Homo-oligomer: A and B are copies of this chain.
Amino acid sequence: MSRLMSYREALNEAMAQEMRRDPRVFVYGIDVADHKRTFMSSKGLVEEFGLDRCFSTPLAEDAMTGFGLGAAIAGMRPIHVHMRVDFLLLGLNQLVNMIATQRYGSGGRFAVPMVIRAIIGRGWGQSFQHSKTLQSWFAHIPGLKVVMPSTPRDAKGMLVAAIRDDNPVIFIEHRWLYDVVGEVPEHSDEIRLDGAKVIHPGSDITVVATSWMNVEAVKAAEILKKRGVGVEVVDVRSISPFDCQTIIDSVQRTRHCIVADNDWTHCGFSAEVAATVYEACMGQLRAPIRRIGFAPTPCPCARPLENEFYPNAVSIIRAVEAMLKLSETDLSHEDFYSYENKFKGPF
């Protein structure tokens, strides 16, 4: 049975069901147990499972990352939550030097079942210290899994899978997705952590997108469909392991590829996608791959600059038109609803 629910509720349900099923699962992080409950994604957990299994910690990201590792080795299944991926920069020593290597370094004698939820995404002029994504960083390190679900269904199914996985999983959530509503099954079915998915079919061009950029890409696809242009949107979902085959299959059909990554492009995940697609589709591409991402600058605060910094459906439409040598679509009557309004002020 499926019901409609928001991405936020889907995350919440995944955690609640897993905590009911498995007493080893617990959730912790700065402010997770306060009345705002990490944008309400941990709503009800304190009430149902108590402060032992859902708690706020001192402001100590480095230690609290290692804390999760210790708890995982000693038999628990921790979920560490970061209100902003930027704060995880304080925990990278533990993540990279310790968490990613401990199974290998013990010759496989133990596993590290741990989930790190990190929230990304635009806010309200939050500027350069609250706006990073960093999926290419995490994916670069062997020993970590990295996923970025973009629908409520995937949010639930992939979070369930991540919690049950015996490896460290970095689970990256764009906050504008929190209010996206979709069908979500009641049961806690796992959705695999290593599969891309075609979320909008089309035969003229492939747009490979991550996280929020899928919403923008689907919007672009819907608009272009009206003039008969078929945009296939592939939601990468898993950054590492990376399911390149689904993408390659699509590009081999459309022979055109745009990568719309929710991040900077230089040395980013979009480079990995482009390099992989080029290699597999040598001689089959009709045009060079176009990579779309953040402007190569720190993120500015003021709205007009911020709007320049972030790519969106319009950037994708213009890139498709350029690649397919089409005239510019008249967008003056299109309604580009922004989820940002749901996150209105102050943060």
Does A275 belong to the interface (CB within 8 Å)? yes
- Which of the four size classes fits the interface of chain A? 35 or more
Does A225 belong to the interface (CB within 8 Å)? no
Contact B278 A267 (CB under 8 A): no
CA distance A287 to B300 in the complex (A): 42
State how many angstroms separate the Cβ of A298 from the closest Cβ of chain B: 4
Tell which of A96, A269, A296, A297 has the most Cβ of chain B within 10 Å: A96
Query: Which residues from B are CB-within-8-Å of A105?
Result: 127-128, 298
Contact A289 B278 (CB under 8 A): yes
A238-275 interface with B by 8 A CB criterion: 239-240, 242, 264, 266-272, 274-275
Does A139 belong to the interface (CB within 8 Å)? yes
**A-B residue pairs in contact (CB < 8 Å), sample of 12:** A97-B128, A101-B128, A104-B297, A104-B298, A137-B137, A142-B264, A142-B297, A240-B266, A267-B272, A271-B276, A275-B275, A278-B278
What does the 1/0 interface line of A277-320 toward B look like (CB < 8 Å)? 01100100101110100001110100000000000000000000
Query: Which residues from B are CB-within-8-Å of A128?
Result: 97, 101, 104-105
Contact A298 B143 (CB under 8 A): yes
Does A57 belong to the interface (CB within 8 Å)? no
Given known A139-B267, A267-B139, contact A279–B272 (CB-CB < 8 A): no
State how many angstroms separate the Cβ of A275 from the closest Cβ of chain B: 4
Query: Which residues from B are CB-within-8-Å of A92?
Result: 89, 92
Does A140 belong to the interface (CB within 8 Å)? yes
Does A33 belong to the interface (CB within 8 Å)? no
Given known A136-B140, A289-B279, contact A242–B269 (CB-CB < 8 A): no
16 new A-B pairs (CB below 8 Å) besides A62-B62, A141-B264, A267-B271? A62-B90, A86-B97, A105-B298, A136-B136, A136-B140, A137-B140, A139-B266, A140-B268, A142-B264, A268-B272, A270-B275, A274-B275, A275-B275, A279-B288, A279-B289, A282-B287
